[in-house]
């Protein structure tokens, strides 16, 4: 998949290009300061043409969030499916989420966090329902590891700690080009299960 796309897993249709442009603009300018005209100009269409796809600018924001959650949920499902043990599954999950946050869906992931307040209550509820499916994949794997004695903390708390470590990575990761996503995955994993367990 090309590294230049803001949202992966969608086609190159006019709607898809519009969402990618919107994700880029919402990240750079913020939702409130981005106009429909800005989005239209970024994809080379008349602003009125956007309303063939979306009724409001908020609908565009929700679609960006929905696409990135659905795409990365499928990425997590594949990560879990390819791990033979709970520890391998956790490593795969960490790597997948880091890839999402510092790699191919970075812009849309940033938008999801920073512009959440701009969604109305109904759209927030719908997005949270999708997010719950995403989070359940993490909690199930963390629960399995806790049962094995890999750590004593509540899986929910452990997930919040992982969210903090991984979610902050986009703020500094590119500045340290000697560190790969693979390297960072191992560092994060060691914080959860310890160096000794991680090296097994």
Out of 112-126, 141-155, 166-180, which region has the weakest mean confidence (pLDDT)?
166-180
Q: pLDDT > 90: what percent of the chain?
A: 72
Give dist(CA 50, CA 186) in Å, integer: 43
93: Cα within 13 Å, side-chain hemisphere? 25
The proportion of the chain whose per-residue pLDDT surpasses 70, expressed as a percent, equals 90
Asked if residue 10 lies in contact with residue 105, where contact means CB atoms within 8 angstroms, the answer is: no
The total of other beta-carbon atoms located within 10 Å of residue 66's CB is 16
- CA 122 to chain CA mean position, Å: 21
41-80: per-residue pLDDT in tens? 999 988 888 988 899 999 999 999 999 999 999 999 999 9
Give the 3-state DSSP-derived string for 88-145, with helices as H, strands as E and coil as C.
Answer: HHHHHHHHHHHHHHHCCCHHHHHHHHHCHHHCCHHHHHHHHHHHHHHHHHHHHHHHHH
Tell me the average pLDDT across 25-35: 95
- Pair 127, 69: CB distance under 8 Å: yes
Model pLDDT for residues 87-108, shown as the tens digit of each residue: 999 999 999 999 999 988 988 9
Q: Which helix (H) or strand (E) holds 29?
A: helix 14-29
The angle, 0 to 180 degrees and rounded to 10, between the axes of the packed helices 57-81 and 36-43 is: 60
């Amino acid at each position: 998949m090309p590294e230049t796309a803001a949202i992966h897993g969608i086609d190159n249709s006019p709607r898809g290009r519009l969402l990618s442009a919107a994700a880029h603009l919402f990240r750079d300018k913020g939702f409130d300061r981005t106009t429909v005209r800005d989005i239209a100009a970024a994809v080379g269409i008349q602003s009125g043409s956007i309303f063939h796809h979306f009724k409001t600018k908020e609908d565009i924001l929700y679609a960006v969030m929905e696409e990135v959650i659905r795409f990365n949920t499928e990425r997590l499902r594949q990560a879990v499916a390819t791990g033979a043990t709970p520890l391998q599954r956790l490593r795969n999950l960490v790597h997948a989420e880091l890839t999402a946050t510092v790699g191919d869906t970075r812009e849309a992931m940033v938008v999801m966090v920073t512009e959440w307040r701009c969604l109305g209550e109904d759209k927030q509820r719908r997005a949270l329902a999708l997010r719950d499916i995403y989070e359940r994949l993490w909690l199930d794997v963390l629960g399995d590891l806790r049962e094995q004695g890999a750590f004593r903390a509540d899986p929910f708390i452990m997930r919040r700690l992982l969210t903090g470590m991984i979610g902050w990575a986009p703020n500094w990761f590119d500045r340290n080009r000697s560190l790969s996503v693979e390297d960072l995955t191992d560092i994060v994993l060691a914080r959860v299960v310890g160096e000794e367990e991680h090296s097994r």
